Amino acid sequence: MNASPTEPRRAALIFIFVTVLIDILSFGLIIPVLPHLIEGFLNGDVSKAAVWYGWFATAFMAMQFLFTPVQGALSDRFGRRPVILLSNLGLGLDFLMMALVNSLPLLFIGRLISGITAASFSTANAYVADVTPPEKRAGAFGMIGMAFGIGFVIAPAIGGVLGEVNPRLPFWLAVGLALTNFLYGLIVLPESLPPEKRSPRFDWSHANPIGSLRLLRRYPQVWGLIGVLFLMALAHIVYPSTFVLYADYRFGWGPKMVGYTLGLVGVLGIIVQGGLVKKIVARFGERRTLLIGLACGTLGFALYGLAPTGYWFWAASPIAALWGVAGPAAQALISHQVDPTEQGRLQGAIASLSSVAGILAPTLFTRTFAAVTDANLHDAWAGITFGLAAVMVGAAWLLAARSSASLPTAIAPAMPIATIAPEAVAEKAELDVRPATDEAR
Residue 137 is predicted with a pLDDT of 79
Domain that holds residue 259: 10-188+206-440
Q: Are 237 and 365 in contact (CB under 8 A)?
A: yes
How many CA atoms lie within 13 Å of 128's alpha carbon, on the beta-carbon side?
Answer: 28
In whole angstroms, give the CA distance from residue 50 to residue 408.
45
The phi and psi torsions of 7 (rounded to 5 degrees) equal: -65, -45
Rounded CA separation 57/59 (Å): 5
Cβ-based neighbour number of residue 197 at 10 Å: 13
Domain annotation covers residue 349: yes
CA dist 300 and 12 (Å) reads: 34
Residue type, 204: W
Distance CA 421, CA 248 (A): 50
3-state secondary structure 334-346: HHCCCCHHHHHHH
3-state helix, strand, coil in the chain (%, to 5): 85, 0, 15
Under a CB-based contact definition with an 8 Å cutoff, are residues 168 and 295 in contact?
no
∠ Cα 222 225 230 (to 5°):
125
**Residue 4 placed within a domain:** no
Q: Is the dihedral of CA 118, 119, 124, 125 positive or negative?
A: positive
53 in Cβ contact with 241 (< 8 Å): yes
Q: Total structural domains in the chain?
A: 1
* Span 86-143, pLDDT tens digits: 888 888 888 888 888 888 888 888 888 877 777 567 788 788 888 888 777 777 877 7
Asked whether residue 197 is assigned to any structural domain, the reply reads no
pLDDT confidence of residue 119: 59
Task: Give the per-residue pLDDT at 381.
Answer: 77
Q: What is the dihedral of CA 331, 332, 336, 337, to 10 degrees?
A: -20
Q: Is residue 222 part of a domain?
A: yes
Residue 198 lies in a domain: no
Distances (CA, A) of 412 to 50, 132, 409, 429, 434: 45, 19, 9, 14, 14
Compute the distance between CA of residue 391 and CA of residue 368 in angstroms, rounded to an integer: 15
pLDDT in tens, 2-14: 444 555 567 677 7
The pTM of the full predicted model, rounded to 2 decimals, is 0.68
Residue 441 has a pLDDT of 33
Q: Which positions ≥6 away from 151 have C-beta within 8 Å? A: 20, 21, 22, 23, 24, 25, 27, 28, 266
Residue 5 lies in a domain: no
User: In one letter, which amino acid is 81?
Assistant: R
Q: Can you give the pLDDT at residue 398?
A: 92
In terms of phi and psi (left: phi > 0; alpha: psi -120 to 50; beta: otherwise), the region of 309 is beta
Query: Which CATH number do you get for residue 72?
Result: 1.20.1250.20
- Altogether, the residues listed in the chain come to a count of 441
Separation of alpha carbons 346 and 216, rounded Å: 7
Which residue stretches of the chain have pLDDT < 50?
A: 1-4, 408-441
Q: Per residue, what are the HEC states of 114-166?
A: HHHHCCCHHHHHHHHHHHCCHHHHHHHHHHHHHHHHHHHHHHHHHHHHHHHHC
Assigned domain for 199 exists? no
Closest CA relative to residue 92, chosen from 127, 120, 54: 120
CA dihedral of 394, 65, 268, 321, whole degrees rounded to 10: 0
C-beta neighbour count of 421 within 10 angstroms: 11
Q: Is residue 329 part of a domain?
A: yes
